[in-house]
Structure 1
Amino acid sequence: MTSSSPADGSHGGPDGGARGRGDERLPRPAAFAFSAQTWKEIAHLLVNLPVGIACFVFTLIWLAVGLGLSITVVGLPLLAVGLGCSRFVGRFERWRARGLLAVRIDEPSPLPHPPGSGVLSRLWTRLRDPVGWRAALYALVRLPWSVITFAITLTSLFVAWPVLPWIARGLTHVDRAMVRGLLYPSDELERRIAELESDRGTVVDTAAADLRRIERDLHDGAQARLVALAMGLGLAKEKLEEDPEAAARMVDEAHGEVKLALQELRDLARGIHPAILTDRGLGPALSALAARCTVPVRVAAELPERPAPAIEGIAYFTVSELLQNISKHSGARTAEVELWRADHRLLIQVRDDGRGGATTDGGTGLAGLAERLGSVDGLFVVDSPSGGPTTVTAELPWHHRAGSAGAAVVKGRRRR
């Protein structure tokens, strides 16, 4: 008796039926089907620990050493250097957050360094750097969190991988919050505070220098003449009865000294704030200033109205010092002064056909002018190639306000 085979030709056995059906496949094992962003977040969480350890150790060492030595001349510079390095740490962490966490975050502005500022001023600016201090705080608080995230992520990668995307997303949300809270540049406010503090120092220094100049001028000029005048009148009084003619000559000399003293006092008052500027404004005041210059100066003032009094004073003394420089140093034959209003700004250009080579470097008087204009949100640009001509462009706010708009002068710009 023969046994018949199945009609479809399949053979018995545990897998004979599977081999006979070509349209069926065995089920494949599950794969790590995570998105690219999920893998970036996992990489960020795993890298947190080595980066966190390095940043924590560095920050702890320089803070401990710097604060410990702060009573000496070494500690404060060390703290300043450490804060500068903390800025680089913050920059690296922002770069890592942009690349792995998709956090859109800008870089903070560099520290302001006003022209002519000294070593102590620069040191104090660095020690008050809020960006550096926040980056240092970030490095300190990140280490405990880095240990936690590393342990959870590594464990989930081998034990709880099906829910790892949700775990990674939740952990990195905390990282994003820390980056935004401590490394995000609250840039405008911080920069403005630093600028105002720097400008306040500039104004105080300028006022102190002006007071010293006025005191020196009074002591060496008018005061000395008035003392000599008092002594001369005292001698004339003694000679009045015994030698009337000599007394008359001495009174005549004293009269001449009085005139000279009055002239010096008028010049000093003009140096503080000229009466013509108060009474008639910038145009006539600068014309009177130009008339006293040793170089012929053409003045063109196109001002529909008067700017703020403080701005008028700064503009007047800026042009005054520039014309003095032209008289003393330029070797020019002619010069021009132009003033005009552009939007909410007062623009001044002073040109001469002298030898050129003027610069704001090296603590010159031009650097002082640039610093003074910067204290009221102004600009000061010198274009002076060797051989000339020299063009100095100054820009001031029409009405000075803290936080006024930025300037619009570009180096080399000239008004036609």
Structure 2
Amino acid sequence: MAVDHGSPARRPLVPPVLRAPVEGRTWREFGYLMLSLPVGVVFFSYALTMFVAGVGLLITFLGVPLLAVGLAGCRGLGHVERARARALLGMDIRDPEPVRGGKPGLMGWVGGVLKSGVSWRHLVYALVHFPWAAFAFTVALAFWATAWSLFLYPLWQWVFPRYLNQPGISFTGDIDGRGFALDTPFEIGVTCAVGLVLVLATPWLVRGLTSVDRLLVAGLLGPSRMAARVTELESDRGVVVDTAAADLRRIERDLHDGAQARLVALAMDLGLAKEKLTEDPRAAARMVDEAHGEVKTALQELRDLARGIHPAVLTDRGLDAALSAVASRCTVPVRVEVDLPARPAAAIEGIAYFTVSELLQNVSKHSAARTASVDVWRSRDRLMLQVADDGRGGADASGGSGLAGLAERLDAVDGVLAVDSPVGGPTTVTAELPWRG
């Protein structure tokens, strides 16, 4: 997650409690509550009618498809409710998974609808939401109308003496009908003040009522947690496959451009040395000596490549020794502190190693830092990594940067990457991985 450290956001001049009555959000939420009653009546009437008819006809063949049609209709009305929640409540809610029939044809579709938990949740929503919609509609409309009527009373108080033959809003005090009316300047001012208090309080009441609607829509009309988890895992699997393919291409490129090219040149040099062995032994010996140097260089490249795939020190001695080796190759002094009671799962240990390795490479290449530090510790069932430097900052995990790719890799194993890097430094990158020991 990239942290924006640009110019600080300006505080609004008007406090939220005074802005709320005229904010678009308040009016949209109030409109949502006003529409909930007619929509809820339609939804409830359809769902109850189809459900009762379907259950009543279950003794015949017609009950099963009729019940399936009723549930399918509830799903269709659920699309309307989700669209209404997106438009008026600003909810980011995805459509649930579609019906999946086990067999092709009409009966397969009927079975899929009846077996789908989503369909039954839509039915429950229709039956539960209607009484709540009626309650919320009544409360919101009563408070809204009363608040604005009292607040604007000085503007329409003249209606009473002109058209109703009353000095103002009248209150009967006893059984004889004697009472009082709000007609003096003081009484009108007090009425307006009470209305102002209600006007300021009503948006928060409306917000509280719509919070219940948000829970109902998200819990009953959205995708189930299991389905959302499956979608997330499918996305993570795609990231893992892409990452593995990219790593294989990198290894192939390194072999082709590095060790393989050197070994081909070495074979050619040895062939020439063999031909010159009888004609010019000294030249042949010199060529063999050069080939020996090429062999050492090729072996070093192969060692570096193997270290990049999975270093032996990580397997043998764990993260402490492996990260110390990585830190020793960094261009700036790095303090390494690893405080782990045990070793995590091998896969998590490898991801942690390569995460720190890539972050230290960024420190060497881009940070212009004087010092850096690496801290690794366990927090409950999570492995925590933190790499910090005193460089120029400005690192950003958004877009197509290397940090963005690193964040995707961590997300594929339920990890999190957080970047705090204001311009001018310092930079702190924190990674969180599941322990899975």
Same fold (TM over 0.5): yes
Give distance in 2, aligned partners of 1:109 and 1:190. 16
Q: Pick from 199, 207, 218 the counterpart of residue 236 of structure 2.
A: 199
CA contact (8 A) 2:40 2:129 kept: no
Superposed, 1:84-163 pairs within 5 Å as 89-91=80-82, 110=93, 130=96, 133=98
Structure 1 residues 335 and 88, CA, compared in 2 at 3 Å: closer, same or farther?
A: farther
Query: Counterparts in 2 of 1:215-234, with a 5 A limit?
Result: 215-234=252-271
Q: Partner residue of 2:362?
A: 325
Match of 1:285 in 2: 322
Match of 2:353 among 316, 319, 322: 316
Quote the offset at 1:176 in angstroms: 2.6
Residues 12-411 of structure 1 correspond to what in structure 2 (within 5 A)? 43-44=38-39, 47=42, 89-91=80-82, 110=93, 130=96, 133=98, 175-176=126-127, 184-399=221-436
Residues 96, 223 of structure 2: 8 Å contact kept: no
Distance 1:233 1:326 in 2: 42
Structure 2: segments with no counterpart, 5+ residues? 1-34, 48-75, 100-122, 131-215
Aligned-residue sequence identity (percent) comes to: 67
How far apart are 1:46 and its partner, in Å? 5.5
AA in 1 matched with 2:127? R
* 8 Å contact kept, 1:303–1:339: yes
How has the CA–CA distance of structure 1 residues 173 and 216 changed in structure 2, closer, same or farther, with 3 Å as cutoff?
closer
Deviation at 1:90, TM superposition (A): 3.4
Deviations 1:322-353 (A, max 9, x none): 00000000010000000000111100000000
Alpha-carbon distance in structure 2 between the residues aligned to 1:87 and 1:204: 35
Aligned Cα root-mean-square deviation (Å)? 3.4
CA offset digits 1:135-168 (Å, max 9, x no partner): xxxxxxxxxxxxxxxxxxxxxxxxxxxxxxxxxx
Give the alignment's TM-score, normalised by structure 2: 0.55
Alignment match, 2:144: none
* Change in 2 beyond 3 A, CA 1:46/1:370: closer
Q: 1:46 to 1:282 in 2, by over 3 A?
A: closer
C-alpha distance after superposition, 1:364-415 (max 9, x if no partner): 0000110000000011000001110000000000118xxxxxxxxxxxxxxx
Q: How far apart are residue 272 of structure 1 and its match?
A: 0.2
1:372 to 1:43, Cα distance in 2 relative to 1, 3 A: closer
Query: Any unmatched runs of 5+ in structure 1?
Result: 1-39, 53-84, 96-105, 112-128, 135-171, 401-416
Which structure carries more relative contact order (alpha carbon 8 Å, separation 6+)? Answer: 2
Secondary structure, aligned partner of 2:251: helix
Measure how far apart 1:302 and its partner are: 0.3
User: Structure 1 CA distance, aligned partners of 2:374 and 2:363?
Assistant: 12
State how far apart, in whole Å, the 2-side matches of 1:370 and 1:222 are.
Answer: 31
Partners of 1:107 and 1:185 in 2: CA distance: 14
Distance, in Å, in 2 between the alignment partners of 1:355 and 1:399 is: 36
- What are the superposed Cα offsets for residues 77-107 of structure 1, whole Å, 9 maximum, x if unpaired? xxxxxxxx99873325779xxxxxxxxxx99
The structure-2 alpha-carbon separation of the partners of 1:44 and 1:209, relative to structure 1 and needing over 3 Å to count, comes to closer
TM-score (norm 1): 0.57
Distance 1:210 1:174 in 2: 48
**SS of match in other structure, 2:363:** helix
Aligned partners of 2:386 and 2:430 also within 8 Å: yes
Secondary structure, counterpart of 2:336 in structure 1: strand
Secondary structure of 1:130's match? coil
Report deviation, 1:188.
1.2
Q: Is the 8 A contact 1:350 1:393 kept in 2?
A: yes
Instruction: Report if the CA contact (8 A) 1:109-1:187 is conserved.
Output: no
Residue pair 2:345, 2:436 contacting (<8 A) in 1 also:
yes
Shift in Å, 1:191? 1.5
- Aligned length in residues: 263
Tell me how far 1:194 sits from its aligned partner: 1.1
CA distance in 2, matches of 1:173, 1:398: 39
Larger Cα Rg: Structure 1 or Structure 2?
1
Evaluate the alpha carbon distance shift between residue 392 and residue 256 of structure 1 in structure 2; reply closer, same or farther with a 3 A threshold.
same
Structure number having the greater helix percentage: 2
